[in-house]
Chain A
Amino acid sequence: MTSSLAKAATRTKVRRPGGLEPFTLISIVGVALFMIACLIPFWVIISGSFTDEQTLAVKGYSLLPQPFSVAAYKLIFTGPTLVSAYVASVFITLVGTALALSFTSGLSWVIARRLPYVSRPLAIFAYIPMLFSGGLVPLYLLVTQYLKLQNSYFAVILPLLVAPFLVFIQVSAFRQLPEEILDSARVDGAGELAIFFRIGLPLSKPILAVVGLFYAVHYWNEWFTALLFMSDVHKYPLPLLLQNLISNVSFSQMLPTAAQQTTPVYQLRLALTVVTIGPILLAYPFAQRYFVKGITLGATKG
């Protein structure tokens, strides 16, 4: 099942007799149009981020950056606010993903090994939060009144740490490991923990990559918990900084400006958007096949 998508991509269902049927033609055009629709917004943003602020303000956005300007990018990489936002996002993503992945793996392994009296109750325990949640208010009170995590990166990391959906993806992947290998290690005298660390995890690298990537994207894009729990602008992660630039133009006053010069707000907003998507864009070609594997696995297991 895991490779079904790879198969889907390579297998041609039925050999078509010569000639292009109208339906195939319509399909090609349809898919191409959707592809263009997916790409154009990115293109307009990238192009806009290199367009001179004055031109943006007068003529609006265009498909070619003219006159070409890198002013906004210069600002981004010299201003402390933006650098600290990048640092915040990187910290939240790296630490969050590492913690999330290890917590998720541990739990999933125990569920996947089908221990009597343990695995099934644990599965239900992890499943209930998907059905019933306390909602925003109790979470807010918990983080601010009891854990006192305001303005800490952990206020973003901790509430989102274990995603039940990803637990179930990992459980089904762990269950596909051949039991014989684990048994032979037991015969050789390896303890259960040694089996997990020395055999289970190394054999599960692909699924660890899938789940890790899902967590990483989810932390990189996270802005809502940051909005809830962060008031110190210098601790804002990138998406929240962006959100602030949308809703609040005067926020741009916090940004560094050359003497007497006005900040290129619109260009900056677009440049910051590009900088925010950047890492995903770069990692995407490598990550994409893993993601496909992950959701295919998730889809078949519910």
Chain B
Amino acid sequence: MTNRTVRSGLWLAVLAVPAVVFFLVFSYAPLAGLVVAFKEFDISKGIFGSPWNGLANFRYFFSSGDAQRILLNTIVLNVLFLAATLAAGVTLAIMLNEIRGRFFKRAAQSTIFFPYFVSPVVIAIMLQVLLSGPNGSGGVVNDALTGFGLPTVDWYTEPGPWPWILTFVKVWQLGGYMSVIFLAAITSIPEDVYEAGQIDGASRAQMALRITLPLLKPTAAVLLVLGVGRIFYGDLGTIYAIVGDNGTLFPTTDVIDTYVFRSLRQIGDFGTTAAIGLFQSVVGFVLVSAAVLIQRRYSKETSLL
């Protein structure tokens, strides 16, 4: 670059100013606000005027008895979500790849991709329709159970099945989205690999299992690694929309994010919730960094920066 273009180039940086201001105010300033985690926060004194109280907020959370359950739920649910959506994405992509009819394929892709655009609140309502009728019991699923002569379940008072129900929701929501990513990866598999397979007399099933599936591993690995980095972040929007303040379901559905949100709204304990948030951010940061480093090793071209 010549001097002239460098100078006009610096002018160009003006375009970035609005976004930079946004990040400073809404992403970087809140980082400073994390000192609340070490304070006995008093809203009238403000963030910086409140007295310090060291690690008391952290101690309070970890000795409260909620900590273990919440951390466990967060990890269990996220692992289930990650495993299930990846598996669904790969399966759907391979199946879609088998479909010859262009019209059917298009229609299928559009249909299975659509749930991605639906608000968590709408999903919560759909789930209510399926699991509980307007009058409390009933619902489409229970109607079906009755039809088969099986006992009905009062879903919204049974915490047991909820990890699976939420996993179903995630697969429904993200299966199509994931399949698009994998289908793109399938497209980049060279044609002659399949031709070779065909010459060797492989059936379609053998080609899918022995060629497509192994060649999807790198893509799956990238998504997996990224997902692992996010494991400490529950899906607040979806889980809270569905479970809400239904305490009976907390034993299996309460995650860090929902817990923080609830304590903030109901108890207004800023110090402790900020401490949990900070803990979550730090662990999340370590996991994300580890994930990015591993991913960099794994494949240079797809690295994040």
Chain A contacts to B: CB under 8 angstroms = 1, 4-5, 7-14, 16, 21-24, 26-28, 30-32, 34-35, 37-39, 41-42, 44-45, 48, 56-58, 60-61, 102-107, 109-111, 113, 115-116, 118, 122-142, 145, 158-159, 161-162, 167, 186, 191-193, 196, 217, 220-221, 223-224, 239-240, 242-243, 246-247, 266, 269-270, 273, 276-277, 280, 284-285, 288, 291-292, 295-296, 299-302
In the complex, the answer to whether A129 meets B108 with C-beta atoms within 8 Å is: no
Are B14 and A295 closer than 8 Å at their CB atoms? Answer: no
Docked pose: A116 CA to B20 CA in angstroms? 17
Knowing A4-B188, A122-B20, the reply to whether A115 touches B95 (Cβ < 8 A) is: no
Closest chain A residue, CB of each to CB of B14: A193
Q: Is B227 an interface residue (CB 8 A)?
A: no
- Closest Cβ–Cβ distance, residue A135 to chain B (whole Å): 3
Please give the distance in Å from A250's CB to the nearest CB on chain B: 15
Assess the A11–B187 pair: CB atoms within 8 A. Answer: yes
Q: What residue of chain B has the Cβ atom nearest to residue A3's Cβ?
A: B187
Q: Is the CB of B8 within 8 A of A224?
A: no
The secondary-structure label for the interface of chain B is helix
A9-B102, A220-B119 known, 12 other contacts, Cβ within 8 Å: A8-B97, A14-B191, A102-B18, A116-B6, A118-B10, A136-B264, A137-B273, A145-B43, A221-B120, A224-B237, A246-B124, A296-B180
A10 surroundings in chain B (CB, below 8 A): 102
Which of B15, B28, B176, B277 is packed against the most chain A CB atoms within 10 Å?
A: B15
Give me 23 A-to-B residue pairs in the complex whose CB atoms sit less than 8 angstroms apart, sorted by A's number.
A5-B183, A23-B98, A35-B111, A38-B172, A42-B126, A44-B129, A48-B129, A60-B138, A118-B16, A122-B16, A123-B305, A129-B28, A134-B34, A137-B33, A139-B26, A141-B47, A142-B33, A145-B47, A162-B19, A192-B9, A223-B241, A242-B119, A273-B122
Contact between chains at A140 and B19 (CB < 8 Å): no
Render B90-119 as a binary contact track against A, CB cut-off 8 A, 1 for contact: 011011111110101111111111110111
- Once A23-B203, A104-B19 are accepted as A-B contacts, the answer to whether A110 and B98 lie under 8 Å apart by CB is no
A27 touches B95 (CB 8 A): yes
Q: Which of B15, B22, B91, B277 contacts A137 (CB 8 A)?
A: B277
Instruction: Give the 10 A-B CB pairs with smallest separation, nearest first.
Output: A138-B33, A134-B30, A135-B277, A138-B30, A221-B119, A107-B19, A106-B15, A23-B205, A27-B98, A129-B27
Whole-angstrom distance from the CB of A110 to the nearest CB of chain B?
4
Q: For the complex, is B83 an interface residue (Cβ under 8 Å from A)?
A: no
Tell whether, in the assembled complex, residue A162 and residue B112 are in contact, meaning their CB atoms are under 8 Å apart: no
Residues of B at the A interface (CB closer than 8 Å) are 1, 5-6, 8-20, 22-23, 25-34, 36, 43, 46-47, 91-92, 94-100, 102, 104-115, 117-122, 124-126, 128-130, 133-135, 138-140, 143, 172, 175-177, 180-181, 183-188, 191, 194-195, 197-198, 203-205, 207-208, 219, 222, 226, 236-237, 240-241, 244-245, 257, 260-261, 264, 270, 273-274, 277-278, 280-281, 284-285, 288-289, 295, 302-305
Residues of B contacting A113 in the complex (Cβ-Cβ under 8 angstroms): 9, 12
Contact of B19 among A103, A130, A270 (CB under 8 A): A103
A192 with B111, Cβ < 8 A, contacts A142-B26, A223-B121, A300-B184 known: no
> What residues on B are CB-neighbors of A104 within 8 Å?
19
A242 in contact with B122 (CB, 8 Å): yes
Query: Contacts A45-B126, A113-B9, A246-B125; is A14 near B194 (CB within 8 Å)?
Result: yes
- Bound-complex Cα distance A140 to B29 (A): 12
* A residues less than 8 Å from B183 (CB atoms): 5, 8
User: In the complex, what's the smallest C-beta–C-beta distance from B183 to chain A, in angstroms?
Assistant: 5
Determine if A127 and B113 form an interchain contact, defined as CB atoms under 8 angstroms apart.
Answer: no
Query: In the complex, are the beta carbons of B264 and A140 less than 8 A apart?
Result: yes
Known contacts A141-B36, A192-B8; is-contact A21 B100 (Cβ 8 Å): no
B15 A136 Cβ-Cβ under 8 A: no
Q: Could you tell me the distance between the alpha carbons of A251 and B264 in the complex, rounded to whole angstroms?
A: 23
Expressed in whole angstroms, the minimum distance between the Cβ of B305 and any Cβ of chain A is: 7
Known: A35-B111, A127-B304. A246 touches B128 (CB 8 A): yes
Tell whether, in the assembled complex, residue A299 and residue B184 are in contact, meaning their CB atoms are under 8 Å apart. Answer: yes
CA distance A136 to B265 in the complex (A): 11
Bound Cα distance A123, B187 (Å):
30
B113 x A288 contact (CB < 8 A): yes
Are A41's CB and B130's CB within 8 A? yes
Whether the Cβ atoms of B241 and A134 lie closer than 8 Å is no
Closest chain A residue, CB of each to CB of B182: A299
A135 and B187 contact, Cβ closer than 8 Å, known pairs A48-B129, A106-B15: no
CB-based contact A106/B22 at 8 Å: no
Residue of A57, A113, A288 most packed against chain B (CB within 10 A)? A288
